[in-house]
Amino acid sequence: MGSIAIMCSGGDSSGMNPAIKKFVEYALDKNLTPYFIFDGLEGLIDGDIRKADYKDVTGIIHLGGTMIRTSRSKRFYEFSNREIAYRNLQKNSIDKLIVLGGDGSFKAMDIFSKEFNISFIGIPSTIDNNINGTDYCLGVDTALNVIRTALDEIRDTALSFKRAFVVETMGADCGYLALISALTSGAEICIIPEIRYDLEALQKKISEEMKEGRTNILAVVAEGTNDTDKIKEWIERDLKLEVRELILGHIQRGGSPSVYDRLMAFEFISYAIDRLMQDSVNEIIVYRDAKFEFLEVNEVVKDRHRINDKLLDLVVRLSK
């Protein structure tokens, strides 16, 4: 039935290893020869492509990150390097690709698959959850659970002092992680790029709560606002509370994949392989309105992702 390869591109996310495990097992069940491309697009250019078997994916399902590693590649922008990448695939008779990644990776593969005889499907895989056309990206559930644990533990110490904590979450220019984390942790403040915040209104509201006995504050700030320091200084100056600032950083990308991310990884891969066996395609598999769909790459990358309005409505009161 031919050969099929998988690679990761861009930032890593928990859920990639379960997807890689399912890829090998399902491909072999379908009489396909599975290959790993190591180090993403860089490895594709360098020819770091290896045949995979069951033993290669034993014991990886609980591991965060990606066993085949990932990268960002400036070299792939050059046609000569894409031509080299194609020849490396030809050497292994690979004409089907699954790419775990985000917008940038999908744009690169869109160009690549149109220039050469390659059929590919992209699986949205980013903790930022900022891919247009899908409600869910692989890895976001694990990231939210990592943040939840951190915020719950921070709240414990905040309650022990008259103190405020300002916690910055990742998410690039998308506030999804901060929004969901603020709601589910009971934060008093949520600052995200999608909502214009009003410090004057927040000060008035929180000051009234402090008169009634509030002694601590948890503020969750999305990195895309670039306002973490500003919020810290505002709390110290106007609310007169001692403040600790915490940037969670890359721990949000790690951790053992959640049950949900593992199950979704299995489904993404199964649907993707079935689709690649039917036709020559250039598509992204998405999950929206509780079902899987395939979209043309252009439909996914043409617009910026927008957080659901219902979620935005829920968090407005934490911003103004």
In a 3-state reduction of DSSP, which class is residue 58? coil
Please report how the helices 259-278 and 140-160 are oriented relative to each other, as an axis angle in degrees rounded to 10. Answer: 160
Burial of 315 (C-beta count, 10 Å sphere; 0-12/13-18/19+): buried
Residue with tokens 């050969």: 3
| Residue 309: Cβ within 10 Å count | 9
AA letter at 186: G
4: which 2 tokens? Answer: 């099929």
Catalytic annotation present for 128: yes
d(CA 84, CA 33): 22
Contact 233, 178 (CB under 8 A): no
Contact 297, 109 (CB under 8 A): yes
- Annotated catalytic residue, options 39, 128, 141, 227: 128
Residue with tokens 């110490």: 157
Supply the residues annotated as catalytic.
128
